[in-house]
Amino acid sequence: MNIFRDINEIKFDKKSVLTLGTFDGIHLGHQQIIKKVIDCSEKEDLRNLIITFHPHPRKVINPELNLKLLTTSDEQIEIFRQIGVANLLIINFTKEFSQLTPEKFIKNILVDKIGFSRIVIGYDHHFGKGRGGDVEFLKSCSEKYDFKVLQIQPFFIENEPVSSTKIRTAIETGDINKANKMLGRTYSFSGVVVEGDKRGRALGFPTANIKLNDEDKLLPQIGIYAVTVEIGNNLHKALLSIGKRPTFYNEGSIIPEVYIYDFNDDIYGKEIKVNVIHKLRGEEKFNSAEELIRQMNIDKENGLRVLNQIKELTN
């Protein structure tokens, strides 16, 4: 996959099919759009190109929202590569860029600099200053600038249209099952194992504290989860705790940490990937360490029950 981070790096080619968007999550709806781009490029012998933006436009336009991401830039690149995208343009989104009107974006960038004969667009996509550009606007420009618009309808899961907003809400409320269905894969995050206070080890449940690779990555709701952990090429069953550890601390930062079943290797400083399978319970404050240990043993059994249902872990 060719990755471009400057519009001037791309050669002009009218024989191109493209789509554009933030693609946060690259969920099943996004995947339908990208699949159409790839299919069209193969059938009509066109260059396929995905155009996305970094940082996320909402982080630039409304920084006070402190938006967390479903997919970091590195994660997006890897998913696009796996899907089969041939060319990816990542536009540096600035306040100045946000002032481009829809027609100037189409004319000055897509028509004059990049070149295209087909554009694939989602049913509710908006672009340009004030989000003034949409499917109907593109159709109104198509004859003038000689291109065709291919519109993709929403993708439904259980009679509900898939969207990044719905997935974000599901993750924030602990509904990982819904989020994973809409994503078409298991929600995950990555980070480096760092030293903690080793309290878990003293309780008989040694955990690995994780420092996220990207602080803008959205963590699931506080609680305990059944997960898998990727370390190098190996996949392990594990439990994930996200919280402030209220049994021992009155306040503190939210920390993600994993307990890996039947594992004693030293992984400090190593990067791991956590795949979030199922929420087991919320975070609780216990009256004693003994009460906490009893609950952790219950969590261990419940987590195994969930993880043992996963085909790749039981073969």
pLDDT along the chain (315 residues), means of 10: 95 97 96 97 97 93 91 96 97 93 94 97 85 88 94 94 96 97 97 75 74 95 96 95 66 84 91 97 81 89 92 58
Number of residues in the chain: 315
Check residue 181 and report its DSSP letter: H
Domain ranges of the chain: 2-161, 186-314
pTM, whole model, 2 decimals?
Answer: 0.90
186-314 homologous superfamily: Riboflavin kinase-like (2.40.30.30)
Q: Spell out the residues 6+ positions from residue 53 whose beta carbon is closer than 8 angstroms to its own.
A: 22, 90, 91, 92, 93
Q: Which CATH architecture has domain 2-161?
A: 3-Layer(aba) Sandwich (3.40)
pLDDT at 251: 59
Could you tell me which of 65, 135, 295, 88 has the C-alpha nearest to residue 203? Answer: 295
pLDDT at 247: 46
State the alpha helices, DSSP H only, in the chain.
28-44, 57-61, 73-83, 95-98, 102-104, 135-145, 164-172, 176-183, 199-202, 289-307, 311-314
